[in-house]
Structure 1
Amino acid sequence: MGEQPLRRRWPRRALRIGLAVLVLAVVLTGASVTWAYTASAGHRYDVADAPAAPVAIVLGAEVGTPFLRGRLDVTVQLVATGKVRSVLVSGNAAGSSGDETTTMTSYLVSRGVSPTKIVVDPYGLDTYDTCARAVRVFAVRRALVVTQPYHLPRTVALCRSLGMDADGVNATCDCGFLILLKNQVREWLASVLALKDAIWHRAPAVVSPPM
């Protein structure tokens, strides 16, 4: 007799726990996304309206994708119009997405950007690491960060949380709707970890190049 009510209670308890976890996840995600958009408010621009800065930080993406090409094309415009004097290309040079920084450098040079204006950070393993290394390793204090609009609030918010006077510039992307939607959802989830990083300021995975 005692086992039957117990068996009926377990599904209800599991449902309550599942709902509580779901509510907590929604609240955390909502708070994190709100933080990213609030912290970057007034600091996101289209390329035509972007202010001037000493350096543009262009974030890496998978080699051969329209995401990376769009970021680089906007960076070329910033250099050509004199809005930035130099470019920090930051990405993963040894990841599964390909040698991002070498590809980025070659692309910029092929579009007329002088190699003397390009600084390479091959250890920008994620968005936070790019911002943290720009500040701690390359001593960047003022910059324009270049990435797609869905990624821009988190990027600007993270860089500013580290003390950088950062403005964001929207990069173009010749992408399909479903790809953009998938990346937007992933971006919302990534904002939760970004808020944690913005509070505790972890050290980047690679603080300085290995000897």
Structure 2
Amino acid sequence: MLRYCLLTLKGLLLVVVLAFVSVIAIDTWITKQNRSVIYTELSEVPDFDIGLVLGTSKYLGRTLNLYYQYRIDATQALFEQGKINHVLLSGDNAHRSYNEPWTMKRDFLKLGFTEEQIHLDYAGFRTLDSVVRAKEIFDTNRFIVITQQFHCERAMFIARNIDIDASCFVAQTPGETLSLKLRVRELLARVKAVLDLFIFNTQPKFLGPKEPIHSEEALSEEVLSPLLPTSAALPTPVSSAVTN
């Protein structure tokens, strides 16, 4: 009996150690994988036209949530420097008194954005939903996400592993380091992101009909497309023996 208990205890200990190592490995992988598309300096950010702002609550109780405010500030900086022309505000719309996209919209209108430059995604319940819906619903495969560093890393991990051409601009993080509670929450979110992408093939909670953002890039493509030669007008290749 004692021997059986010891074997069981060793087995449980091994499982705990393997789980811990796996979580740390996933965290390191996500942190390092997409550094080249995460920007911390405004001057280095390419022009993207569309900025995807990931939502969070504006207030924590009666206190302004600095994670929210710094995302607004970072987006405004991109806009003022001409890096983006449109914003896609994605967040939770749980009930009438809690509406992350609409709350952000009010603040951006105060900052000088026009109605035409603001687009709302009310079904951005999770990071995966926000990123995938930007492509599938709002018909853009090239955009820049605005959020904090740790969130950028996870968002880019999701985007790049489902062939979305996204980058991320890092908003300021309140304080010097994440709180223990937020750090643990992020670790679990990263594990779930890996499971969603590679095990469960998780899809957004809601999809629906397309609502294309008529950005400058999209309009340019529409203007140029009639000028491009059709397949019938293309010259016949000299030889069809060589294939890719």
Q: Which category of TM-score, normalised to the shorter sequence, fits these structures?
A: 0.7 to 0.9
Deviation at 1:9, TM superposition (A): 3.3
- Separation (CA, whole Å) in 2 of partners of 1:124 and 1:40: 22
| Aligned match for 1:45, one of 9, 18, 39 | 39
How many residues were matched structurally? 202
**Are the aligned partners of 1:135 and 1:162 in contact in 2 as well (CA < 8 Å)?**
no
**Are the aligned partners of 2:91 and 2:100 in contact in 1 as well (CA < 8 Å)?**
yes
1:54 aligns to what?
49
| 1:125-167 Cα distance to aligned partner (Å, 9 max, x none) | 0011111111111122111111111211111110122221111
- Separation (CA, whole Å) in 1 of partners of 2:41 and 2:164: 20
Deviation at 1:174, TM superposition (A): 3.0
**Are the aligned partners of 2:149 and 2:173 in contact in 1 as well (CA < 8 Å)?**
no
Q: Which moved more, 1:79-88 or 1:194-203?
A: 194-203
| Aligned match for 1:27, one of 21, 24, 27 | 21
Identity among equivalent pairs (%): 31
After the TM superposition, list the runs of 4 or more consecutive aligned residues in structure 1 that deviate by more than 6 angstroms. none
- Separation (CA, whole Å) in 2 of partners of 1:133 and 1:121: 8
2:161 aligns to what?
161
**Are the aligned partners of 1:76 and 1:113 in contact in 2 as well (CA < 8 Å)?**
no
RMSD over equivalenced CA pairs, Å: 2.2
**Are the aligned partners of 1:63 and 1:99 in contact in 2 as well (CA < 8 Å)?**
no
Deviation at 1:111, TM superposition (A): 1.5
Secondary structure at the aligned position of 1:150 is classed as helix
**Are the aligned partners of 1:50 and 1:169 in contact in 2 as well (CA < 8 Å)?**
yes
Which of structures 1 and 2 has the larger relative contact order (alpha carbons within 8 angstroms, sep 6+)? 1
Are 2:109 and 1:114 aligned?
A: no
- Structure 2 stretches lacking a partner, 5+ long: 60-64, 210-244
2:103 aligns to what?
103
Q: Which moved more, 1:44-53 or 1:138-147?
A: 44-53
Q: Which moved more, 1:136-145 or 1:97-106?
A: 97-106
- Structure 1 stretches lacking a partner, 5+ long: 1-5
**Are the aligned partners of 1:62 and 1:97 in contact in 2 as well (CA < 8 Å)?**
no
**Are the aligned partners of 2:85 and 2:117 in contact in 1 as well (CA < 8 Å)?**
yes
| 1:27-86 Cα distance to aligned partner (Å, 9 max, x none) | 321232233123312111114132211211010112221111111110111111110111
Secondary structure at the aligned position of 1:124 is classed as coil
Structure (1 or 2) with the larger CA radius of gyration: 2
| 1:166-194 Cα distance to aligned partner (Å, 9 max, x none) | 111111133475x5443223212211111
CA distance 1:70–1:19, change in 2 (3 Å) = same
| 1:6-38 Cα distance to aligned partner (Å, 9 max, x none) | 1x2354234223212212212321232233123
Secondary structure at the aligned position of 1:145 is classed as strand
1:190 aligns to what?
189
**Are the aligned partners of 1:57 and 1:143 in contact in 2 as well (CA < 8 Å)?**
yes
| Aligned match for 2:3, one of 2, 5, 9 | 9
